């Protein structure tokens, strides 16, 4: 919303830059692009998004958000709001078009 747009826009733009760097890395290191962790059935792209989400993890009491008045959007909202705008996320996890994590209308900064 209005109060958190100074976070939301950089979150979105920063993720675009970070994901592009990930793509360049994979292009320049084709032998490492599809490395998987032993015992974890996730692609390297899925692990990329998992790591991004892990960085935003928080634990709060259920009633915490009822009285939240901060100027920043809650961390979970910043995470979901960012990755919903990336077709690459939806592709990595096979999210159907129109589903919560792959809305038809996406926000693209650049």
Residue range 21-70, pLDDT digits in tens: 999 999 999 888 788 889 999 999 999 999 988 887 777 677 766 666 66
* Whole-number pLDDT of residue 5: 63
Give the CA angle between residues 93, 105, 71 to the nearest 5°: 90
CB neighbourhood size of 92 (10 A): 19
């Amino acid at each position: 919303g209005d109060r958190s747009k100074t976070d939301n826009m950089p979150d979105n733009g920063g993720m675009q830059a970070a994901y592009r760097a990930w793509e360049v890395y994979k292009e320049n290191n084709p032998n490492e692009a599809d490395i998987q962790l032993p015992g974890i059935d996730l692609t390297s792209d899925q692990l990329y998004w998992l790591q991004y989400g892990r960085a935003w993890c928080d634990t709060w009491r259920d009633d915490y958000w009822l009285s939240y008045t901060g100027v920043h959007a809650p961390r979970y909202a910043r995470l979901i709001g960012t990755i919903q705008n990336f077709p690459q996320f939806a592709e990595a996890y096979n999210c159907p078009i129109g589903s919560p994590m792959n809305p038809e209308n996406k926000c693209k900064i650049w």
